[in-house]
């Protein structure tokens, strides 16, 4: 008998589903429950940081089918790929959520795929990826689809992103007032 049936996978995780005894289904279910919530929290923290503290006028993309989370005056797409690495439980204990942000291969693939689709649909526009956890091989990464990937928890990378976004206004298309 499982002593404590937890909701959404917070706290100490049983090794199997408390109802059916299946390991793999339970793990997928708990991951799906917390992943979107911590991703949403990262998105809105980034939105607040950029709009309120950095003066960058982000607009949340309108449809869930968009290839980017934010736009800057229709000229720049920004994909936010971040999540928590741990959750602090009400009792003060810490629950590790594993690999965050771009450290997950499926997250990286989705971000790169979104970049390609964005550039295919919106020729000549800019596309950036922001994260809170990035593997070393992606630091400074650029290609024909991705204009930059930045770990916005690192001050120097956040400042570089803001500088790049601000520099776009000097290229015959003012982005900011």
Higher pLDDT, 1 or 169: 169
What pLDDT, on the 0 to 100 scale, is given for residue 177? Answer: 47
- Number of compact structural domains in the chain: 1
73 Cβ neighbours under 8 A, 6+ residues apart: 57, 59, 175, 176
Higher pLDDT, 127 or 91: 127
Is the residue at 6 inside a domain?
no
Is the residue at 74 inside a domain?
yes
Higher pLDDT, 121 or 25: 121
Higher pLDDT, 141 or 29: 141
User: Model confidence over 69-119: pLDDT tens digits?
Assistant: 998 887 899 999 988 777 777 777 777 777 777 888 888 999 999 999 999
What pLDDT, on the 0 to 100 scale, is given for residue 31? Answer: 55
Domain extent at residue 141: 43-170
Q: For strand 94-96 and strand 70-72, is the pairing parallel, antiparallel, or unpaired?
A: unpaired
Separation in Å, CA 116 to CA 39, 44, 95, 110, 147 = 21, 24, 35, 10, 11
What pLDDT, on the 0 to 100 scale, is given for residue 18? Answer: 66
pLDDT band for position 144 (50/70/90)?
very high
Is the residue at 147 inside a domain?
yes
Is the residue at 38 inside a domain?
no
| Angle CA 71–144–76, to nearest 5 | 10
Is the residue at 28 inside a domain?
no
Residue 127's CATH number: 3.40.960
Is the residue at 34 inside a domain?
no
Is the residue at 21 inside a domain?
no
User: Model confidence over 5-62: pLDDT tens digits?
Assistant: 444 445 556 666 666 776 655 454 455 566 677 788 889 999 999 999 999 999 898 7
What pLDDT, on the 0 to 100 scale, is given for residue 169? Answer: 60
Is the residue at 103 inside a domain?
yes
Q: Rg for the chain (alpha carbons), in Å?
A: 19
What pLDDT, on the 0 to 100 scale, is given for residue 163? Answer: 93
């Amino acid at each position: 008998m499982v002593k404590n049936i937890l909701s959404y996978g917070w706290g100490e995780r049983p090794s199997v589903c408390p109802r059916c005894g299946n390991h793999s289904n339970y793990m997928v279910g708990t991951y799906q429950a917390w992943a979107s919530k911590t991703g949403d929290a990262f998105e809105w923290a980034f939105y607040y940081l950029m709009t309120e503290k950095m003066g960058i006028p982000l607009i949340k993309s309108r449809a869930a089918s968009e290839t980017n989370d934010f736009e800057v005056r229709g000229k720049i797409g920004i994909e936010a790929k971040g999540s928590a690495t741990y959750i602090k439980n009400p009792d003060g204990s810490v629950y590790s959520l594993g690999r965050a942000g771009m450290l997950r291969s499926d997250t990286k693939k989705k971000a790169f795929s979104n970049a390609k689709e964005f550039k295919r649909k919106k020729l000549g526009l800019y596309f950036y990826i922001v994260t809170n956890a990035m593997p070393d091989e992606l630091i400074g990464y650029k290609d024909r689809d991705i204009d930059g990937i930045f770990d916005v928890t690192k001050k120097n990378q956040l400042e570089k992103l803001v500088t790049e976004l601000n520099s776009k206004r000097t290229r015959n298309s003012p982005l900011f007032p």
